[in-house]
Amino acid sequence: MADNTDKTGWSANLYNKNAPFVYSNAFTAPVLQMLSPQAGERIIDFGCGSGEVTLELEKIVKEKGGRVVGVDFSESMITQARARGLEHAYVADIQDLPDLPIGADIKFDAMFTNAALHWCKRDPRGVLRSAKRVLKPGGRIAGEMGGFMNCIGIRGALHKALKTRGYDAGAMDPWYFPSVEDYTDILRAESFEPIEVTLTPRVTALPAGVFGWLAVFVRPMILKDFSDEEAADIMKEVEETCRIDCQDSQGRWQMMYMRLRFSAVWKQ
């Protein structure tokens, strides 16, 4: 398998190998149900990754001439999404969405997002402003992301390992895991009327263990400037700290994902 890591640290191949659960039917069913996509609609997927869910949406909407557009910060992901057959896939920062080459007058019925907004710590409200730039008046948004207490245990162990080595773990941590109250507040502040905002714990199996999870989601981002030796040292320490909570008696690894699910309507 070719290493297709891009300058943002993402590798679509590594993501597809170690974290396919992110876009599995079982894990995406609740957020897709909240979105309730209809034939003929135009839907934009914020943080479409390698396009698996986006292509499922396309099957539904294109029946009556609808269209799906995917955007992602990672070139590696967008290249993979296009290779899978997603025609309208663009590299862009959803915290500050630029004009897309789709026609300025094209507006969307809905913005969908899965497992992406927790990477938008720099400007979570910017994501909502970006949605308003491309939605029809009265358009809806539906999404799932990491919420308050997401990755509990692993995140704390990582902070401790970094702090004991003299690093500023808070500044290095790229994640935004809001509570129900936090997210409800920013929805309202950006003129979205919340329909549903909930937190749901989800135990998630890790086929490649905590170490494999860290290799996809931490090594290329938080630890990108570290030597291989120091990064491996930190990742081993984190896995070891988490072993008591995250590995069962048969040796299988799991972790706690806390899903923040939301749906809302843009009230102009």
- Could you give the CA distance from residue 73 to residue 67 in angstroms, rounded to a whole number? 20
43 forms beta bridges with 68, 110
**Quick one: which of 95, 115, 108, 94 has its CA closest to 50?**
115
Contacting ligand BEZ (CB under 6 A), which of 47, 66, 146, 209? Answer: 146
Closest contact distance (angstroms) between CB of 6 and ligand BEZ is 17
Closest contact distance (angstroms) between CB of 261 and ligand BEZ is 12
Contacting ligand BEZ (CB under 6 A), which of 27, 192, 257, 266? Answer: 257
Q: Does 212 bind ligand BEZ (CB under 6 A)?
A: no
Closest contact distance (angstroms) between CB of 129 and ligand BEZ is 23
Q: Does 175 bind ligand BEZ (CB under 6 A)?
A: yes
Contacting range for ligand BEZ; rule: CB under 6 A; set: 71-79, 144-152, 161-169, 229-237? 144-152
Q: Is 200 helix (H, G, I), strand (E, B) or coil?
A: strand
Contacting ligand BEZ (CB under 6 A), which of 135, 151, 246, 264? Answer: 151
Do residues 261 and 144 touch, judged by C-beta distance below 8 A?
yes
Closest contact distance (angstroms) between CB of 173 and ligand BEZ is 10
Please give the span between the terminal C-alpha atoms of the chain, in angstroms, as a whole number. 48
46 vs 108 by CB, closer to ligand BEZ: 46
- Could you give the CA distance from residue 139 to residue 129 in angstroms, rounded to a whole number? 13
Q: Does 48 bind ligand BEZ (CB under 6 A)?
A: no
- Could you give the CA distance from residue 225 to residue 54 in angstroms, rounded to a whole number? 32
The set of residues, in sequence order, having a beta carbon less than 8 Å from that of 233 and lying 6+ positions away, is none
Site residues (vs ligand BEZ, CB under 6 A): 115, 118, 146, 150-151, 175, 217, 257
